[in-house]
């Protein structure tokens, strides 16, 4: 702030000096028989001094500026007093330029106290020099209100700048704290979404499988899946937002989570047909690809549990702006009103999980006509504001259709 004030003050000083030169030239032209060139010389000497004190913000530079400025003010004032004394009887404006320039040296001070001290020093030096010249020339002294007003204004500007900087310094820790709290809140929200989705995918799913099991013991495949999920829950892998970056770089296959999801539900007896361009999934970020695989698996698991059919279709298609995946079944369907608030499948494992990585989810379902889940990701973005209305809600109505042009190649997902 001090440097900015200093540059502004020195810029004003140069402008005032230019105005003083114009005035002196005007008097010289109006009174060619009077000696006015010393006033021009005094103003010209102050130009390099303004540049010097702007480049060297030191005590010595300030003192030198005041000393040379005092001499220039004395010469400028006594020249006018001897050459055109009659114009100084009532108006002191013509004597103001060198005094204003002396006052404005104060902006180079660092801190409020030092800045005000330089302002007062410049004002005192300027007034003493001008008064001494007027007394020696025998001209009546008239108090200069203009220079005093400038002094008071400069002090007010320095005070305002000081208070502004102090307020900003005091507010900075609070702003940092608020930013930290916002970041922690966002991380906490992401962790809650991930934990809720993982709980549904593992604990609740296994409990449902155990409750619906007809035998006294679980089969080996279910035991293996439960043991694998317990290892995940007991470790820290689930905390990470994405697989290890090195592993992702080695595999370079972001379609694997989706293909793994399809392979796992096929092992559970669901016949899945893949259509479209699965290679477009490679355009997703690792976070998005992982979330897509887990969400798609949950959708397909829902087909097994609730649809009453043993077939489903996964269609992948893309445009320049987004990649879309649709999971379709022709099962019994449902209505939004029939979904209880305690059902976490679509909300936690699908919708919240996808929205946490910048995607959108739309669900269409009609009782007796099947269900279609559309998952969309913007390409080239990692975040996107979740919709407040519309997208992401369960929508009852006819299923959207995918034309042959949209689907591309048709065949089993691999």
Pair 391, 278 in one domain: yes
| CA distance linking residue 106 with residue 118, whole number of Å | 4
If asked whether residues 400 and 265 sit together in one domain, one would say yes
- Greatest Cα-to-Cα distance within the chain, rounded to the nearest angstrom: 125
More confident residue, 192 or 17: 17
Which domain-ending residue is among 129, 149, 173? 173
**pLDDT recorded at residue 208:** 59
pLDDT at 240 > cutoff 80: no
Question: Is residue 149 domain-shared with residue 282, that is, in the same domain?
Answer: no
The predicted model gives 8-34 an average pLDDT of: 86
Q: pLDDT-based confidence at 343, cuts 50/70/90?
A: low
Pick from 51-65, 128-142, 208-222, 237-251: least confident: 237-251
Domain assignment present for residue 353? The answer is yes
- Indicate whether 239 belongs to any domain: no
238 located within any domain: no
pLDDT at 253 over 50: yes
Whether residues 53 and 147 fall in one domain = yes
Any domain includes 120: yes
Residue 326 sits in which domain range? 250-407
Please say if the pLDDT value at position 238 is more than 70. Answer: no
Domain edge (last residue) among 153, 173, 193: 173
With DSSP H G I counted as helix, E B as strand and the rest as coil, what are the percentages for the chain, rounded to 5?
65, 10, 25
pLDDT exceeding 70 applies to what percent of the chain? 67
Among 150, 173, 196, where does a domain finish? 173
Residue 262 scores a pLDDT above 80: yes
Instruction: Please give the residue that has the higher pLDDT: either 216 or 291.
Output: 291
Mean pLDDT in residue range 29-33: 88
Shared domain for 10 and 153, answered yes or no, is yes
Q: CATH number of the domain that 256 lies in?
A: 3.30.565.10
Q: Is pLDDT of 381 > 50?
A: no
> Which of 330, 311, 315, 317 is closest to 275 using CA atoms?
315
Cβ proximity of 229 and 202 under 8 Å? yes
What's the mean pLDDT when you consider all of the chain?
A: 75
Higher pLDDT among residues 6 and 201, named by residue: 6
Q: Are strands 322-329 and 311-318 parallel, antiparallel or unpaired?
A: antiparallel
CA distance 199 to 232: 11
Judged against a pLDDT cut of 60, whether residue 29 lies above it is answered with yes
Most confident region among 115-124, 125-134, 163-172 by mean pLDDT? 125-134
- pLDDT at position 325 is 93
Question: What does the pLDDT read at residue 339?
Answer: 62
Task: Please tell me whether residues 169 and 254 are part of one structural domain.
Answer: no
Q: Residue 362: is its pLDDT beyond 50?
A: yes
My answer on whether 151 and 286 are in the same domain is no
Any domain includes 245: no
Which pLDDT score, from 0 to 100, does residue 212 have? 59
For residue 314, pLDDT over 90 is answered with: yes
Is there a single domain that holds both residue 166 and residue 259? no
DSSP states of 159-193: HHHHHHHHHHHHHHHHHHHHHHHHHHHHHHHHHHH
Are 163 and 262 within one domain? no
Computed on alpha carbons and rounded to an integer, the radius of gyration of the chain in Å comes to 41
**Burial class, 219, CB count within 10 angstroms (exposed 0-12 / middle 13-18 / buried 19+):** exposed
Residue 338 in domain: yes
Q: pLDDT class for 323, splitting at 50, 70, 90?
A: very high
pLDDT of residue 333: 85
Helix axes 59-83, 37-55, angle to 10 degrees: 170
Average pLDDT of span 256-281:
87
Say whether both 301 and 161 belong to one domain.
no
Q: Quick one: pLDDT band at residue 391, thresholds 50, 70, 90?
A: very low
pLDDT at 277 over 50: yes
- So what's the pLDDT on residue 377? 93
- How many domains are there within the chain? 2
Give the burial class of 360: count Cβ atoms within 10 A of its Cβ; 0-12 exposed, 13-18 middle, 19 or more buried: buried
Model pLDDT, residue 382: 43
What's the rounded mean pLDDT across residues 141-162?
80
Q: Is residue 194 part of a domain?
A: no
Decide which of 390 and 121 is more confident. 121
Residues 169 and 260 placed together within one structural domain of the fold = no
Give the pLDDT band of residue 383 (cuts 50, 70, 90): very low
46 assigned to some structural domain: yes
Can you name the residues that pair with 84 across neighbouring β-strands?
Answer: none
Among the listed residues 341, 344, 342, 309, the one whose alpha carbon sits nearest the alpha carbon of residue 202: 344
**Are residue 297 and residue 155 in the same domain, yes or no?**
no
pLDDT in tens, 42-52: 989 888 888 88
Share of the chain above pLDDT 90, in %: 8
């Amino acid at each position: 702030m001090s440097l900015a004030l200093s540059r502004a003050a020195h810029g004003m000083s140069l402008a005032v000096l230019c105005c003083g030169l114009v005035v002196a030239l005007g008097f010289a032209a109006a009174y060619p028989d009077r000696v006015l060139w010393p006033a021009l010389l005094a103003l010209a000497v102050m130009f390099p001094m303004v540049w010097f004190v702007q480049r060297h913000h030191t005590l010595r530079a300030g003192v030198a500026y005041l000393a040379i400025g005092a001499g220039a003010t004395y010469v400028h004032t006594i020249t006018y007093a001897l050459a055109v004394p009659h114009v100084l009887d009532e108006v002191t404006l013509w004597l103001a330029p060198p005094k204003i320039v002396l006052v404005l040296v104060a902006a180079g001070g660092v801190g409020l106290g030092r800045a005000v001290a330089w302002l007062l020093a410049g004002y005192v030096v300027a007034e003493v020099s001008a008064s001494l010249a007027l007394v020696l020339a025998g001209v009546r002294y008239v108090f200069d209100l203009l220079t005093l007003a400038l002094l008071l204004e400069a002090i007010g500007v320095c005070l305002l700048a000081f208070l502004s900087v102090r307020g900003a310094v005091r507010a900075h820790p609070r702003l940092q704290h608020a930013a930290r709290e916002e970041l922690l809140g966002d991380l906490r929200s992401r962790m809650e979404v991930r934990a809720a989705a993982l709980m549904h995918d593992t604990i609740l799913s296994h409990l449902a499988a155990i409750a619906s099991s007809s035998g006294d013991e679980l089969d080996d495949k279910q035991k293996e899946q439960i043991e694998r999920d317990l290892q995940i829950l007991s470790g820290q892998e689930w905390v990470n937002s994405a697989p290890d970056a090195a592993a992702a770089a080695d595999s370079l296959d972001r379609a694997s989570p989706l293909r793994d999801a399809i392979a796992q539900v096929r092992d559970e007896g669901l016949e899945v047909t893949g259509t479209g361009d699965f290679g477009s999934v490679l355009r997703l970020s690792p976070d998005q690809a992982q979330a897509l695989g887990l969400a798609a698996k949950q959708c397909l698991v829902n087909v097994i549990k609730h649809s009453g059919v043993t077939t489903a279709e996964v269609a992948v298609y893309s445009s320049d702006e987004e990649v879309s995946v649709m999971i379709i079944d022709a099962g019994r369907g449902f209505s939004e009103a029939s979904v209880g608030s305690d059902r976490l499948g679509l909300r936690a494992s699908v919708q919240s999980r996808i929205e946490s990585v910048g995607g959108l989810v739309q669900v269409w379902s009609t009782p007796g006509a099947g269900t279609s889940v559309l998952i969309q990701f913007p390409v080239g973005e990692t975040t996107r504001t979740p919709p407040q209305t519309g997208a992401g809600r369960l929508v009852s109505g006819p299923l959207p259709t995918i034309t042959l042009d949209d689907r591309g190649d048709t065949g089993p997902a691999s």
